[in-house]
Amino acid sequence: MGKTKNTKFKRPPFSPDGLAATPVKQVVEESEDEDSPAAELLDKLQSPSADVREYACASISRVVQQSQAIPGFLQRDAVRKIGPLLMDRSLLVRETAAGALRNLSACGGPGVCEDMVRQDVLTSLSALLRECCAGFDVTTSPVMKGQKHTVEDVTNEAVNLLWNLCESSSTAVSVFNKSGLLDILLHCLKRHPQNMELAISAAHCLHTVTEDNSELVCNVNSGVFGILDNILSTTHTSMEYTLLRTLAAGSLWNLKSSLSSAQQSQTLTALAATLSHCLMLDAGVLIPELWHAESARLSKEATSATESDHTDERSEGHKPEEMEEDGRDEKINGRKPKGQMSKTKSDISDLLPRDRLELREAKALMSAQQTSLEIIVNMCCSDEPSDDEWEEMSSSDESEMCADGMADTNSSLFSPLCLSAELHTILLNHSIPQQVLKKAEFPSAEVLELCSKHPSWKCLLKKMHLVQCRALTCLHNILSSMDTESLGGASGLQAVALHLSTLVFSSAEVLKDEEFLEAVTSALRSLLQIMATKNIPQCMTPHQLMSFCEAATSCELVSVRVNALAILGITGSSLAKEKNTEDTLRLIGNALLNVATKDTNLVVCGEALDALFDVFADGDEAEAAGKNINLLSSLKALQPGFRAKLRKEGRGKYSPDQLCVLDNIRINLKRFIGYLENLQRK
């Protein structure tokens, strides 16, 4: 059967706020557009008026959220023009300049982030962060009294910019290591009693920069662990504190190698407790409660506002959601927008006005649970270097030799990770497997309906989907490491398998979501393999099985097609041992032959052949079904084409590991045809 390596969660080029960053296409020659705002706004950055500079930065923040506008700014050297304003004498200009660069980095993608680092934006950013942190405890000057912007608001924008850059640029991480910015993040983290928003931003950034950063890990001291441990020991029950503790746990996991064995054991226990507590929170209960709390609060505020309508009418201000034409005084609930767009147009910023307390709590809960699952994914993954093409690989149990006749020295890669006994026990003691299973079934229909009906809460739908997707990936990783009873016993596994198979048909959007399809098919593949090993009967009807695999094999993503074929192979090989299964085996055989003959990708064809070898290797039912579908003649017919395609396309299109696997399948195909010929002679 084909084997898969446990997935390690590596963030794709996201903006840290959760949206995939759209790479900006480099335009070789862009015609000058008289209506383009880039030139005019960049000119305003040089204005002697702080108000004009602030307005220009805020406007750039909004405009660059439209990715097609970004090349116009980049070609006019926007980064070098905005960068110096990070140290502007006006605090408001500093904040909006950081916001403009933040949105440019988030919306521009990794290429733009690398370009920003090359243009030395980190020098100004580092200086800004140091100056801001030095001013945290300084008494506010008379000039600043009454202003809603504080040094910490500027710092928050700057930390988010640093997070974006380090998320997308290895060069930025290297600069981070050499510039001593770790102390800055720790200083921000310690502000959590006074400024949770800043502390969470710093925690996100720290979680990012500590991942796979051996240079940083070697230089951390006990003070770093002390700050993170103190956060883990907080007892506040708010969702934002839950998120902060989860991010601190992720950073501790990333830094664990610098701890002694005794310290690691203690830290792992604390991590598991933190993650378990986070996952135990029932979003199906908490989100409706938070929505009702917000509704009650808004109703009360509306009643109070009615009593003072005549006073508001005489004021010179305007409604929080409205924007004045020149943009200088635009506010969102009394605060400068820092460049974020209306949620009806874009969700790039992911920031919420500070008075949306309940919705902020709900989003913090979703982020915390997503992060918890990502950490568990990495806990259940080996430390070997990741192979981006691993999921596209397959192998045959019967094949032990590579094309050159040498033993496959990479065989360890095909073995499922066995968790250390200690970590295995810790995860079980904190009910982590059960919590992951529950999140794989998440979310509830009631919560989906509530969020769908209320526009401002619709943003949670995507976050709930991400939680489920991460749970599925996590489930795939932990299945091979946990015993059956810890996963709910035979009946529990059957119920989960049936649920996973139905997820593919839960909505039309699911069939277009490749990340989700890969997660659910990988999880189901691992689950069915465990059930087959434990001789637990399969739970899907033939119709459900074929419908599932038909949908999955039509997906463009190779790994999803490979998983679907493996599922057919696992199910078929189990059914071949039972009585009265010839009809189902015939359906499975025809489906596998169809893919092996018609799919354009050799890895997929190889997986289909591999599955055929397993399904029809033994048993009276399999033998009868094989004859019924003319398996022998079909395999003989496709054999020359498979060999020729492997010779023609192999070395130019597939990795050495994939070629080794495919050549094993070529050899096994010849052997399997000989096996069927011997059966026919009997």
What is the per-residue pLDDT across 575-633, written as a single tens digit (0 to 9) for each? 999 899 999 999 999 999 999 999 999 999 999 999 999 999 988 999 999 999 999 99
Tens-place pLDDT, residues 368-382: 999 999 999 888 875
pLDDT score recorded for residue 351: 56
Q: Mention every residue, 6+ apart, whose C-beta is less than 8 A from residue 495.
A: 488, 539
pLDDT at 176 over 90: yes
Provide the pLDDT confidence category of residue 680 given band limits of 50, 70 and 90. Answer: confident
By CB neighbour count within 10 A (0-12 exposed, 13-18 middle, 19+ buried), where does 32 fall?
exposed
Distance CA 140, CA 137 (A): 9
Residue 3 three-state SS: coil
The residue ranking higher by pLDDT, 27 or 172, is 172
Provide the pLDDT confidence category of residue 489 given band limits of 50, 70 and 90. Answer: confident
Which residue type, as a one-letter code, is found at position 488? G
Provide the pLDDT confidence category of residue 7 given band limits of 50, 70 and 90. Answer: low
pLDDT score recorded for residue 565: 94
The residue ranking higher by pLDDT, 501 or 158, is 158
Provide the pLDDT confidence category of residue 503 given band limits of 50, 70 and 90. Answer: confident
Of 17, 108, 121, nearest to 65 by C-alpha is 108
Q: Which of 7-11, 16-20, 253-257, 593-597 has the lowest mean pLDDT?
A: 16-20
pLDDT at 348 over 70: no
Distance CA 106, CA 99 (A): 10
Instruction: Tell me if the bond preceding 443 is cis, omega within 30° of 0.
Output: yes
Q: Which of 28-42, 92-106, 341-355 has the lowest mean pLDDT?
A: 341-355
Cβ(564)–Cβ(608) under 8 Å? no
Q: What does the pLDDT average to over 280-295?
A: 94
Cβ(500)–Cβ(523) under 8 Å? yes
Tens-place pLDDT, residues 308-346: 655 555 444 433 333 333 333 333 233 333 333 333 333
Distance CA 116, CA 21 (A): 15
pLDDT score recorded for residue 343: 33
The residue ranking higher by pLDDT, 553 or 643, is 643
pLDDT at 293 over 80: yes
- HSE on the CB side for 626, CA within 13 Å? 26
Provide the pLDDT confidence category of residue 158 given band limits of 50, 70 and 90. Answer: very high
Distance CA 291, CA 145 (A): 35
Q: Which of 327-336, 397-406, 507-516 has the lowest mean pLDDT?
A: 327-336
The top-scoring range by mean pLDDT among 294-298, 385-389, 553-557 is: 294-298
**What residues pair up with 332 in beta bridges, in sequence order?**
335
How many CB atoms are closer than 10 A to CB 598?
11
Which residue has 């489906």 as its token pair?
Answer: 591
Tens-place pLDDT, residues 254-263: 999 898 888 8
Provide the pLDDT confidence category of residue 304 given band limits of 50, 70 and 90. Answer: confident
Q: Considering Cα of 260, then 265, then 271, then 274, what sign does the dihedral take?
A: negative
pLDDT score recorded for residue 188: 95
Give me 95's structure tokens. 């904040």
- HSE on the CB side for 579, CA within 13 Å? 0
Distance CA 580, CA 226 (A): 64
Q: Mention every residue, 6+ apart, whose C-beta is less than 8 A from residue 575.
A: 538, 581, 584, 585, 588, 621
pLDDT score recorded for residue 71: 92
pLDDT score recorded for residue 4: 57
Q: What does the pLDDT average to over 23-40?
A: 55
Provide the pLDDT confidence category of residue 157 given band limits of 50, 70 and 90. Answer: very high
The pTM (predicted TM-score) of the whole model is 0.80
Packing angle of the helix pair 91-108, 151-168 (nearest 10 deg): 20
pLDDT score recorded for residue 202: 97
Q: What does the pLDDT average to over 336-362?
A: 56
The residue ranking higher by pLDDT, 479 or 583, is 583
Q: Mention every residue, 6+ apart, whose C-beta is less than 8 A from residue 663.
A: 402, 403, 646
